[in-house]
Amino acid sequence: MPYRSWSQHRAKPRTYVGQFLRAMILRDKELEEEMRRNLNGGNPGWNSDEPAVVELVGERILRLLFVKEDTAHSIADFLDLLELAAAGAAPIDRPKTEMLVREMIGEPNAEAKDISRSQRFVLQGMMAPLAAFRLKLDEGSVDEIIVDSERLAFERGWHPPLIRR
């Protein structure tokens, strides 16, 4: 992450999904549960705007993680950890998940097909915190990644619900 002065104010995520990701990554269970209840503006159902932020955050963090030359081995190790983290949940389709990782890190010709929107959202929501943990990202770095991803989502025309306080 770029150098930042201690005197410089650091922005915090301003969407429910951004705060939800922040809580997951920083392991703030209380905030995570509060934000989970507020996803989709607190309304039941699905919107396409929040998954855009999750995807952008996941892409940024996974690209930081997989800058090594031996990406194939690193992805395999990462998938092993992801399977352990998902223990008790629905099993992960390893080939599809590997293709999703490759797509997210920008590998040419990598396209994760046959993964539903909800599966993508769940997998990306699991991958970002796991990758951040492996990278040992600090709070400031996590905030920077999420805030930049929120900004980019809005620039691309998405409208994840903003936190109203």
CB 27 within 8 A of CB 136: no
Average of pLDDT values for 59-75?
Answer: 83
Q: Which of 19-23, 64-68, 153-157 has the lowest mean pLDDT?
A: 64-68
Average of pLDDT values for 68-85?
Answer: 83
Q: Tell me how far apart the alpha carbons of residues 139 and 1 are, in angstroms, rounded to a whole number.
A: 12
Q: Beta-carbon neighbour count of residue 25 at 10 Å?
A: 24
Residue 3 has pLDDT above 50, yes or no: no
Residue 9: pLDDT band with limits 50, 70, 90: low
Helix 49-65, helix 16-26: angle, nearest 10: 40
Tell me which residue of 24, 27, 4, 7 sits closest to 16, measured CA to CA: 24
Residue 29 has pLDDT above 80, yes or no: yes
